[in-house]
Amino acid sequence: MHRKIMFFILFLTVSLSFAFGQEQGVEKLKVSDKDSKWWNEVFTIKNPPDWAKGIGYEIFVRSFYDSNGDGIGDFNGITEKLDYLKSLGVTHIWLMPIHPSKNYHGYDVLDYYAVNPQYGTMEDFENLVKEAHKRGIKVLIDFVYNHTSKDHPWFIDSATNENSKYKDWYVWTNVDPGDWPNPTGQSKQRVWNKFNFIKGAYREGWYFYSAFNFTIPDLNLENPEVIKELKNIAKFWIDKGVDGFRIDAARFVTAKGPDAQADTPETIAFWKDFMGYLKKVKPDIYVVAEIFAGPDIVQKYYQGGTTFTHGFNFEFSTSFVIPLLVASKAKVPSAKMLSWYNSKAFPITFLVPFLSNHDVGRFGTKIRSEDSHKIALTLLLTTPGGLPFLYYGDEIGLPEDSKVIIGDGEMRSIMMWTDEPFGGFTKGTRIWHARFDTNLVKISVKVQENNPNSILNYYRKLVEVRSSSKALSQVADFKVLETSDPILAYTRKYEDEYAIIICNLSKRDPKDVVLDLREVLKDVKYNKGISSSIDTDVNSIGQKLASTGQAEITLKPKEIITLTFKSNKPVKTEPSKK
């Protein structure tokens, strides 16, 4: 009896230690590049495309930095922060709408030829563009072509003046078209609305088309006069020094019926013509479109490179980054990414990845873990695609501010610069969104700059590694390595430069990994590397891999390591002429 119990205890101890040992990472996961395939960009890209090394940054002017203490962010505020942006590796800033508007976010424009006086003067804007250019930063502005404000003088005249030149600038009918489904996903919002804003107006009782909201009627973009005017507006801003545009609501230009309100052939033809004009005015123009859909729809706007130069990838975060982080499994999300890569309809460089924006919300709210945020930023900057975009605050993991009570304002709250009142956003005594979560100052730029292990310091070092390596900062070949969960690993190659990125997606368990990259890393020297854990000696791993092609490493839970390599061959020099 006694011996039986002893035997059972011994058995239990052995089984437990075996199981425990496995969880602790005794099992070694092999990562080898033998059976994987290099993916090459199948479309010809101008070499090197000027955006490839860069990083884009979306700014909500009202919330970025207030230079004059009135509680509203402004152009001069951005100008003051250009050196900060430069320190993030930013090469393109996208300013959300800068025009006069009655709405705080600016997407219902009142005058396309002016700047919002709350943001500063036209001279302030021109100065921002000039100072940005001095630092090698391009300026993109938001272009809201699909609709105007209902208070825009064009709409008022179109509604009230039977002889107006703007009469057919909007989509009107005096016969009730019935209830069409809303194409933008806002099912409660009617697309045909009765005009009753002005008593006795010529259009009183008529219906106007509006894909988003009755306060922003759609322009009639089949009217050549409207198209001509929009081209003039675009040229006006290009002449001001603007380098390109972010196109708002690109899918909804022309509705042809209840079942044809998005992505219609007329819409695509409109953009093809419009882009042809922009490229004529400014051949190197950078245009990234909001095609709020998956890549299967986005590809319709590539058209062999004749339409937009880039479209945002709305699935990058939801179908790739978040599933990796939540499920801690690599296979399915990696396959998703490769399906974009394999598309015959567009090059992967057409798809612009991002983690957060002003409509989909902040990544820092969806994934509340610093380690995961570091992984996400690494994936953003090291997986193939077009110019990666940050939303202001992504570099510090800024979450949404739940104290903001203005509609959608939680995603567009003030930037946290310091741990002073209002996060150092203003020197004044109030801010435009009144209430804010004072706890957020704890993750401000200044606080993170003083913490070696912060998201911001990790991000800056990652940018340094990225820009030191052509394998990461050019349109490079790409290979997802065969691994077992929870390990994700991929390599990139440009000429004879290489990068490897390896990540332990497990939230709890460290993993021992045997790296065998002898097939790839031949005759290379280690360049630079970074780990999301400051305790990992990445340089010795990199040097070992460079000399032997192999290394055994223990990855901590949620650790990601990026290593870059250059050719060991002596640089060829031209024989000197005697």
Our CB check for Ca ion shows the closer of 74 and 290 to be: 74
Instruction: Locate 393 and state its tokens.
Output: 């605050």
Minimum separation from the CB atom of position 65 to Ca ion (A): 9
66 binds Ca ion (CB under 5 A): yes
Nearest in space to 387 (alpha carbons), one of 359, 415, 357, 348: 348
Given the rule CB under 5 A, which of 71-79, 280-288, 340-348, 552-560 is the region that contacts Ca ion?
71-79
**Is residue 72 close enough to count as binding Ca ion by CB under 5 A?**
yes
Tell me whether residue 58 or residue 74 sits nearer to Ca ion (CB atom). Answer: 74
d(C-alpha 104, C-alpha 221), whole Å = 26
Output the 3-class SS for 42-110.
CCCCCCCCCCCCCCEEEECHHHHCCCCCCCCCCHHHHHHCHHHHHHCCCCEEEECCCCCECCCCCCCEC
Binding map of Ca ion across residues 11-50, x = CB under 5 A, - = no contact: ----------------------------------------
User: Segment contacting Ca ion (CB under 5 A): 70-78, 377-385, 444-452, 496-504?
Assistant: 70-78
**Minimum CB distance to Ca ion, residue 77 (Å):** 6
Q: Which is nearer to Ca ion, 368 or 430 (CB)?
A: 430
Q: How many CA atoms lie within 13 A of 355 on its CB side?
A: 33
Q: How far is the CB of 530 from Ca ion (least distance, A)?
A: 37
**What is d(CA 443, CA 447) in angstroms, rounded to the nearest whole number?**
6
What Å distances lie between residue 139 and 31, 49, 79, 127, 372, CA to CA?
42, 17, 12, 12, 30
Catalytic residue among 290, 395, 410, 516: 290
Which member of 58, 108, 131, 248 is catalytic? 248
According to DSSP, the residues that pair with 487 across neighbouring strands are 504
Site for Ca ion in 140-199 (CB under 5 A): none
What HEC string does 288-314 produce? EECCCCCHHHHHHHCHHHCCCCEEECC
Q: Which stretch binds Ca ion (CB under 5 A): 74-82, 306-314, 436-444, 525-533?
A: 74-82
Applying CB under 5 A, the span of 72-80, 250-258, 260-268, 463-471 interacting with Ca ion comes to 72-80
- Which of 68, 232, 450, 554 forms a contact with Ca ion (CB under 5 A)? 68
Residue located via tokens 């986005």: 298
- Shortest distance, CB of residue 62 to Ca ion, whole angstroms? 9
Helix 265-281 with 224-239: angle, nearest 10 deg: 40
Q: Which range, of 39-47, 68-76, 91-99, 400-408, touches Ca ion by CB under 5 A?
A: 68-76
Sign, CA torsion 84/88/91/93: negative
| Other beta carbons within 10 Å of 136 | 10
Least Cβ distance, residue 119 to Ca ion (angstroms): 8
Q: Sort residue 523 into left (φ over 0), alpha (ψ -120 to 50) or beta.
A: left
Question: Is residue 248 annotated as part of the catalytic site, yes or no?
Answer: yes
Give me the least distance between CB of 428 and Ca ion, in Å please. 8
User: Which residue, 72 or 505, is less far from Ca ion as judged by CB?
Assistant: 72
- Where do the H-state alpha helices sit in 362-411? 363-366, 370-382
Closer Cβ to Ca ion, 70 or 111, answer by number: 70
Give 76 or 527: the residue with its C-beta nearer to Ca ion: 76
As measured in angstroms, the least distance from the Cβ of 484 to Ca ion is 54
Packing angle of the helix pair 455-467, 370-382 (nearest 10 deg): 20
* Contact string 258-287 vs Ca ion (x = CB under 5 A): ------------------------------
Alpha-carbon gap, residue 106 to 99, rounded angstroms: 7
In the complex with Ca ion, the residue whose CB is nearer, 59 or 191, is 59
226, containing H or E segment: helix 224-239
- Shortest distance, position 432 Cβ to Ca ion, whole Å: 9
- Closest separation between CB of residue 435 and Ca ion, Å? 19
Please list the helix, strand and coil fractions of the chain in percent, rounded to the nearest 5, in that order. Answer: 35, 20, 45
| CB-CB contact of 358 with 411 (8 Å) | yes
Least distance in Å: CB of 346 to Ca ion? 40
Beta bridge partners of 552: 514
CA distances from 528 to 329, 470, 492, 562, 566 (A): 27, 12, 14, 8, 9
- Cβ 70 to Ca ion shortest distance, Å: 4
Alpha-carbon gap, residue 378 to 502, rounded angstroms: 10
Choice between 56 and 120, CB closer to Ca ion: 120
Residue 70 makes contact with Ca ion by CB under 5 A: yes
- Pick 65 or 301: Cβ nearer Ca ion: 65
- Judged by CB under 5 A, the number of residues near Ca ion is 5
Residues in 208-237 at the binding interface with Ca ion, rule: CB under 5 A: none
Q: CB-based contacts of 95: which residues, under 8 Å, 6+ apart?
A: 59, 61, 78, 139, 140, 141, 142
Nearer to Ca ion, 115 or 472 (CB): 115
| Cα–Cα dist 13/7, whole Å | 10
DSSP-derived 3-state class of residue 343: coil
DSSP 8-class letter at 359? T
Instruction: Name which position in 33, 58, 74, 395 contacts Ca ion (CB under 5 A).
Output: 74
**Pick 127 or 160: Cβ nearer Ca ion:** 127
With contacts defined by CB under 5 A, name the span among 30-38, 65-73, 193-201, 386-394 that binds Ca ion.
Answer: 65-73
Residue numbers annotated as active site: 248, 290
- The residue ranges that bind Ca ion (CB under 5 A) are 66, 68, 70, 72, 74
